Structure 1
Amino acid sequence: MLENELDLDIHHTGYRLSHFQLFNWGTFSDYIVNLDLAGENTLLTGANGSGKTTLVDGLLTLLVPREYRAYNLSGGQDGKEGRSEESYVLGAYSTTKSEHDYSVNKEYLRDKSCHSIILGQFDNANTEYPLTLLQIRYFNQNGVLQRYFILCEGALDLQAMTERDVAFDATPGWKKRMQAAFSSYKLFFFDTFKAYSIEFASRVGFRDREKALRIFSQTVGMKDLSNLNEFIRTRMLSEMDIESEFKKTLVNFETLMGTKNSLKKKKNRFCNSGQLNRKRTNSSNSIPSWSV
């Protein structure tokens, strides 16, 4: 049943994913996968092997840095099966075992002359324009995976890039052609995920970018919510080294106690010194004067 049929009067705030596109990602090969989400809650269904986890991992790749990202968590494999950015770009679809040395070899849909694109458009009813995130992966002449990270102030999509004759190529002039084709938009190119992520996070209002993205990555892999306490403890709370924190607290406590004891000793010395001076004054006043 749809939300509007239930008449829930739901008002969405903040940035919400409205469009999501993939090209040459996983087994989606040589065509654009387009999801029009309209910023609404979305249920993704499909048979085993239909590509649900591939789509989710694409969204993770768009938003989450590699150190917090584990592929295939939503498939219940705890990040196993050896999925990686490179295997997704090349379209790994099968593994075979050698009869001679029993080694495992992957089979791919594409070779290293390909490129892969992930795009997400985020709309906000309270802003003048949507934000579009775009990531491009390709291999250089040495076969090493390269990455472009792009943020666009405007509604960008892969069909528009093709129509304006700026489909991606690895030539040095592609960025300039891209900027010229979408001159009414502001395009920002980044060489690192960190710089791209910081810019995106500042625009959507993350207070703690790393914590927010880490929690998002963890909740994607959630398969069971039978124990809410355990879910919050393991998925939402930041990891903390309790022993180290306790040792730091103990050192600070001992330092404060040492300072307190030192001040107490100085205070006692000061008080004793004052009493001694008063005794000396009293003694000098009690000495009789002799007149000759």
Structure 2
Amino acid sequence: MRKVVIHHSAMFPKYSEIQIPLLRELSKRGGRSKPSERGPHGRTVYEALADYFDLSEEARNTEIPASGRSKWKNMVRWARNDLKKKGHLNSPRHGVWEISERGWQVLENAKSEATARGDFDEDEEIDPETFKKSQEIAEEIGEAGEEYVLSYEIQELKSNGLAELADRVHRVSLENVAAGFDILSYYSNGDEKYIEVKSSKSHYTDFEITINELRTAKQHGDDYWIYRVKGVGTESVDVTKLRNPVKLIEEEDLLLQPTKFRVSLGEEIEE
């Protein structure tokens, strides 16, 4: 399995992508920390997040022109400011970043979704019952996200006077889970549109993509879309549409990070 991160440049993640990992890093430090303090593994908040995103040495050492300040540290501080505006972080005293009550709830939702994917923090302990419950919740969110996109596509076609095409839009995932996409929709000219839906309750932008989905995306090119549905089950549902993800990966607007590996036995190992 591969995790997909949406980038606004080849070197750095978007500000919004840094927010949940920042909350997760602070949670490892008891919920509060100065960003330059070293945590349990001897890394500052800045360093731990740079490791999380696997930033290159070039990115870690990039400075803001004319100021000499670290661009990466500046980006983390901006992510912190956004979290503070949302009420997810507090400042109990100068220089200290502390997760608020609302921030803990946001983090819990994000961690539940990560757990369902098998994405665990270092030294984290998850009992089987919690893991199973997280998977059940993730499945419900996935179902709700697909239904949202289905309704969205039908309404879009109907609003353009294309009721006949709207009647043909359907969830392929209910018929064939190996299709490599979830929704079959249509353009206004009647051409087919293949939509893979990636849903979450949180507004975190990471998601996972399978080899089968990438293979199907490559096959259909510009007619293959990923609809990233965030805020499922809340009043602030947001959809990001990504056309031709394979091309976006080649252009480094999407970054693939491996999270699982298939292992084959070498010929020297006796069965």
Taking structure 2 as the reference length, the TM-score comes to 0.25
Larger RCO: 1 or 2 (CA < 8 Å, sep 6+) = 2
The structure number with the bigger radius of gyration is: 1
